[in-house]
Structure 1
Amino acid sequence: MVEQRNPYDGTADADLLVLHVAGDGDAFGELARRHRDRLWAVALRTLGDPEEAADAVQDALVSAFRAARTFQGRSAVTTWLHRIVVNACLDRARKAASRRSDPVSDAERFESLLEPHESAAAPAERGELHRELARALGTLPPEQRAALVLVDMQGYPVAEAARILDVPTGTVKSRCARGRAKLLPLLVHLRSDTRGNRGAGGGGNRTESASVPGTPARKDGGGGL
């Protein structure tokens, strides 16, 4: 059986949008297929609930489908798509905040956005660590949470995160700084416990510059949570 070649192999994202606007019925579906996993990851980390994240991505893709003719090429197509997804997530987060009756249980849903913590800790200890991290993340306003998800959890450079959020780089930096400042008092003991588990030769107290377990190393020199 001969495997069929994807007719869009080698077609740039921007060209797929052009084809879509011109009436190609499959071009946008190919664009969504290429980027859905990354868009889903951002939505899940921002909202913390798989169903809410799925709905946000779906809403965003519908919006992008309809607004494709407004794309002017000032940024990469993937940046444009991420911006629409983040806006859809922020809308949902604000609506959820306005009707929230139990902040703690709502914050605990953020467990799903955390990567597994690779350490020598027992499974029960790792589970408690994740729960504490989840509760801390749930205390942040949606805008700060979105900035931290993109920069400290997804590893985007600040400039790219600013393009996605459609705000100045200084705004992204300040949101991240305020978010980190709010999280540090809630998480500092976790890093202390981790160093204690490594023994006395851990290299001194570096709590202020440590990153949250499970977040990727930044490539642009930005600080972790």
Structure 2
Amino acid sequence: MTGSMVEQPLDEPTLLVRAQEGDVRSFELLAGRHRAALYRLAARVLGDPTEAEDALQEAMFDAWRRIRSFRGDSAFATWMYRIVVNRCAGMLRRRTPVPVEEPAETPAPDSPERAAELDAGLAALGRAVAGLRPDLRICWALRELEGLGYADIVQITGASEDAVRGRIHRARVQLAVVMRPWR
């Protein structure tokens, strides 16, 4: 029989077991499958691509160091989200809040002034999100930007479902208040 054998990609449980046995390449493959989503979360929570990359690299290192302690109580992706969230939360705690300014008059639709106002509104929203407490920002980003359900957010953050719902509600209320002048 002629033909070449094509190596099939390993499934997640196999990669996980190999990584827990110390196989760096298996861990890289496993973590690499989730890297884009984890980076996107870090960038949304931190609001800075460079900081997000730093947070992700540090989280990957944390995960590698702790891979043997992963028990499988949740999905590997959920475990990784939690590590990234914890890393981002630590970085946010070390920051100082940025004030949000009020908008000027409302220009005519479809004008360059209107386009500039929309850009300013998006920038104000970014600053408003940056002004949220880290626990509120993380829950809000996981729900509103990543589209995760409450059960997943509970597992990622380690907070109760009531706490998660409360944090998302408080974030929405605070953002609505800050962004009211931009409506």
Q: Which residue of 1 aligns with 2:31?
A: 32
Quick check: 1:171 aligned with 2:163?
yes
Q: Which residue of 2 aligns with 1:200?
A: none
Q: How many residues align?
A: 171
Distance in 1 between the 2:136 and 2:167 partners? 5
Distance in 1 between the 2:59 and 2:110 partners? 40
Structure 2 counterpart SS, 1:88 = helix
| Pairwise CA distance, 1:189 | 4.2
Quick check: 1:158 aligned with 2:150?
yes
Aligned-residue CA RMSD (Å): 2.5
| Pairwise CA distance, 1:126 | 2.4
Where does structure 1 lack aligned partners over 5 or more consecutive residues?
109-118, 193-225
Q: Which residue of 1 aligns with 2:140?
A: 148
Structure 2 counterpart SS, 1:103 = coil
Quick check: 1:43 aligned with 2:35?
no
- For residues 149-187 of structure 1, give each alpha carbon's deviation from its aligned partner in whole angstroms, at most 9, with x where no partner exists: 000111111111111111111111011111111111122
C-alpha spacing 1:64/1:184, structure 2 compared with 1 (3 Å)? same
AA aligned opposite 1:27:
S
Q: Which residue of 1 aligns with 2:11?
A: 11
Structure 1 counterpart SS, 2:24 = coil
| Pairwise CA distance, 1:120 | 6.4
- Calculate percent identity across the aligned residue pairs: 34
What TM-score, normalized to structure 2?
0.84
AA aligned opposite 1:150:
L
C-alpha spacing 1:21/1:177, structure 2 compared with 1 (3 Å)? same
- For residues 104-130 of structure 1, give each alpha carbon's deviation from its aligned partner in whole angstroms, at most 9, with x where no partner exists: 4xx79xxxxxxxxxx968532321121
AA aligned opposite 1:103:
V
C-alpha spacing 1:87/1:132, structure 2 compared with 1 (3 Å)? same
C-alpha spacing 1:120/1:62, structure 2 compared with 1 (3 Å)? farther
Equivalent residues in 2 for 1:50-199 (5 A)?
A: 50-96=49-95, 100=96, 103-104=98-99, 122-190=114-182, 192=183
8 A Cα contact 2:47 2:130, kept in partner: no
Where does structure 2 lack aligned partners over 5 or more consecutive residues?
102-108
| Pairwise CA distance, 1:4 | 9.5
Distance in 2 between the 1:61 and 1:41 partners? 14
Distance in 2 between the 1:156 and 1:146 partners? 12
AA aligned opposite 1:137:
V
Distance in 2 between the 1:24 and 1:137 partners? 39
AA aligned opposite 1:128:
A
8 A Cα contact 1:8 1:30, kept in partner: no
8 A Cα contact 2:98 2:127, kept in partner: no
8 A Cα contact 1:83 1:164, kept in partner: yes
C-alpha spacing 1:183/1:4, structure 2 compared with 1 (3 Å)? farther
8 A Cα contact 1:82 1:164, kept in partner: yes
